[in-house]
Every structure is written in structure tokens, then in C-alpha cells.
């Protein structure tokens, strides 16, 4: 029997039209929250109001509970932390609990459960690491990774045992997997301005982080970067636009990468598996692949 979850796509993963199909291949029956709102992390970094820090994340959890999902799953480490931190706040003081209840009522998103262990947010890796799900991932992978060198970027996700399970899965598919776990800067790099939505306050921070992770990809001879957190993916992709680097490795989020492994159209457009007569799987690029091309084992943005 398939595991049932309620999934919060959030600001980064919501455009991915393959989410439901990817989860089905993993053996997961998923209900996507369509009327979600931002988890509140980016605005609460600059304006730490009760609404931003508590009401915004708990509204999503309240919608999940209303549909029978006591736990809300997400591919974003920041979203998971924001929900769980909000629960800690309302559990710490009855006044905060009452204030949250009052604020959530107009949204019809009041919480049925608030105690630790009975509800909360869970990261995607926590379910992929389950034996049945990881087995489905291995068995349903239409593409192998022989010849691929991957930088698995774990960001702030710190459960090493579950990271090792994911690493073992990718290694079993033939990849050489390198780990890197420095913080990407998270939500504080997502401040926007009305001027073309450019994150002008954080250009220097994003550029520095982008150079650091690409240096790591270069040192480990990694062909591309797979992120386990969608916020990390977003910050790296922002670096593509803001950095002065000429050469850099492509980045792909974990959900899309799983879709790529399953052979789904529209997933992993930068990566093509082409088996040669010798049985090797070289890494190639689509000719039209969003301005990237391979150069001497690395990738450059076309000018």
C-alpha cells in the first residue's frame, strides 16, 4: 500500500508539473497543497513579526491537518524549519497559542494538533530514506549514472545517516558522489526589491557563495550539483545571474533529479544519458540547454 502524504511545494517547486507523477513512481500517494502561501521565512528575516514567523507557516500546516495530514512534507529545509519553529513558539506560551488560533481562524486553517511529535513539518529526504521508498527509487530508475560525478549539496540538512542513504542510492546507480554541506545563506538571500525583482542587497553574498560551491565542484571534479533543499537550489541559480564567473557547474534540485532518473520529460534538461558501445555513460548537454555548454569537463554560460 502506498504511503500517503500532504506536500507543500512552496515558492521554488510549485512550477514543477511532474511532482505527482514522481511521487507515484516512489510509491507515495501525494496531495499537493494548492492554496499554499509563503512559509514566511524570507519576510520574517527582515521583519520578524508574529504574522511572518508564526501565522504564515502554520496556515499551511493547518490546511494540511484539515485534509488529514498531520505532518506537512516539503523539499525545502527552510520551510520545514519555519513550520517547526512556529510550533515551538505557540507551545511555549498559551498567549501565543491563543493569538495564533485567532489569526488562523479567518483562513479556516486552525490547528487540530500542536504538540511535539503529533504534527509538524518533515523534509523530503526523511521519507526517501525509508526502506520501501528508497527501494522503489532504485528499482524504478530508468537511467543509470555510470560515468557521472555528482556534488551532492546538503546545505543545512544535518541528518548524516539519511544523507548517507541517499548517497548510497546514487552510488548504486553508478555515480561518483561527493558531499558538501555549508549553509547557502538561506532565506536571508531572498530579499527582493520592486526594481525588476533583483536582490540588490545580497548580490555580494550570493556571488561569494556561488563561487565557493563551484570551487568545491571543481575540486571534486563534479559534473553537476544536486541540491537536497529547494532554497539552496534557488540561491545557486540566483548566483548564475549575479556572479561574474565564466565557468560553473549546472544545478538540479532533488525532486527534478529523481524525475530525471525515472526518465521523465522535462526533468534534467541539462543532463542526457547516452550509452556508448563500451557501456560508458558520458555526460552531454542539450544544444539549447539554457545557455550552458560543456568545456574541458566543466560548464560555461554562453555569452
Give the three cell numbers for residue 189: 538571500
Q: Which of 79, 99, 125 is the last residue of a domain?
A: 125
Question: Is there a domain that residue 226 lies in?
Answer: yes
Q: Which of 125, 154, 189 is the last residue of a domain?
A: 125
Residues 178 and 270 in one domain: yes
In this predicted model, what pLDDT tens digit does every residue of 36-75 receive, in sequence order? Answer: 999 998 888 778 899 999 999 999 999 999 999 999 999 9
Residues 121 and 147 in one domain: no
CATH code for position 183 = 3.40.50
Number of domains making up the chain: 2
Residue 203's pLDDT band, with cuts at 50, 70 and 90, is low
In this predicted model, what pLDDT tens digit does every residue of 256-270 receive, in sequence order? Answer: 999 999 999 888 887
Measured CA to CA, the distance from residue 39 to residue 79 in angstroms comes to: 6
Mean pLDDT in residue range 146-166 = 93
Strands 292-295 and 298-301: antiparallel
Question: Is there a domain that residue 209 lies in?
Answer: yes
CATH code for position 71 = 1.20.1050.140
DSSP annotation of 149 reads E
Share of the chain above pLDDT 70, in %: 83
Question: Is there a domain that residue 137 lies in?
Answer: no
Q: Could you tell me the sign of the dihedral formed by the alpha carbons of 155, 60, 91, 100, in that order?
A: positive
In this predicted model, what pLDDT tens digit does every residue of 215-245 receive, in sequence order? Answer: 999 999 999 999 999 989 988 888 877 777 7
Query: Over 80: is that where the pLDDT of 149 sits?
Result: yes
Tell me the pTM. Answer: 0.84
Residues 166 and 121 in one domain: no
Give the three cell numbers for residue 264: 521523465
The residues, any chain, with a CB within 8 Å of residue 269's CB and separated by 6 or more, are 286, 289, 290
* Residue-averaged pLDDT of the chain: 82
Task: Scan for cell 560515468, then name that residue.
Answer: 147
Residues 173 and 241 in one domain: yes
DSSP one-letter string for 5-72? EEE--HHHHTT-TTHHHHHHHTTEEEEE-SS----SHHHHHHS--HIIIIIHHHHHHHHHHHTT-SEE
The residues, any chain, with a CB within 8 Å of residue 112's CB and separated by 6 or more, are 65, 66
In angstroms, the first-to-last Cα distance of the chain is 50
In this predicted model, what pLDDT tens digit does every residue of 76-125 receive, in sequence order? Answer: 999 999 999 999 999 999 999 999 999 999 999 999 999 988 999 999 99
Question: Is there a domain that residue 292 lies in?
Answer: yes
Range of the domain at 180: 142-301
Query: Over 50: is that where the pLDDT of 285 sits?
Result: no
Residues 74 and 147 in one domain: no
Q: Which of 99, 125, 151 is the last residue of a domain?
A: 125
Residues 216 and 248 in one domain: yes
Amino acid at each position: 500500500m502506498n504511503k500517503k502524504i500532504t506536500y507543500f511545494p512552496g515558492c521554488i517547486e510549485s512550477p514543477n508539473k511532474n511532482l505527482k507523477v514522481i511521487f507515484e513512481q516512489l510509491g507515495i500517494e501525494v496531495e499537493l497543497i494548492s492554496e499554499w502561501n509563503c512559509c514566511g521565512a524570507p519576510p520574517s528575516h527582515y521583519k520578524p513579526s508574529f504574522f511572518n514567523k508564526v501565522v504564515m507557516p502554520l496556515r499551511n500546516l493547518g490546511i494540511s491537518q484539515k485534509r488529514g495530514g498531520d505532518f506537512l512534507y516539503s523539499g525545502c529545509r527552510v520551510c520545514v524549519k519555519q513550520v517547526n519553529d512556529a510550533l515551538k513558539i505557540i507551545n511555549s506560551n498559551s498567549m501565543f497559542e491563543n493569538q495564533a488560533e485567532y489569526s488562523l481562524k479567518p483562513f479556516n486553517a486552525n490547528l487540530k494538533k500542536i504538540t511535539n511529535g503529533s504534527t509538524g513539518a518533515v523534509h523530503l529526504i526523511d521519507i526517501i530514506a525509508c526502506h520501501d521508498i528508497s527501494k522503489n527509487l532504485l528499482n524504478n530508475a530508468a537511467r543509470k549514472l555510470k560515468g557521472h560525478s555528482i556534488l551532492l549539496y546538503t546545505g543545512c540538512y544535518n541528518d548524516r545517516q539519511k544523507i548517507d542513504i541517499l548517497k548510497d542510492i546514487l552510488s548504486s546507480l553508478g555515480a561518483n558522489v561527493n558531499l558538501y554541506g555549508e549553509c547557502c545563506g538561506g532565506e536571508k538571500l531572498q530579499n527582493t526589491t520592486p526594481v525588476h525583482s533583483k536582490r540588490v542587497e545580497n548580490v555580494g553574498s550570493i556571488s561569494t557563495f556561488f563561487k565557493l560551491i563551484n570551487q568545491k565542484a571543481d575540486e571534486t571534479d563534479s559534473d553537476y550539483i544536486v541540491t537536497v533543499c529547494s532554497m539552496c537550489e534557488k540561491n545557486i541559480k540566483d548566483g548564475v545571474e549575479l556572479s561574474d564567473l565564466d565557468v560553473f557547474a549546472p544545478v538540479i534540485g532533488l525532486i527534478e533529479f529523481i524525475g530525471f532518473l525515472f526518465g521523465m520529460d522535462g526533468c534534467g534538461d541539462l543532463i542526457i544519458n547516452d550509452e556508448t558501445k563500451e557501456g560508458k555513460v558520458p555526460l552531454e548537454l542539450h544544444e539549447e540547454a539554457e545557455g550552458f555548454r560543456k568545456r574541458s569537463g566543466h560548464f560555461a554560460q554562453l555569452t
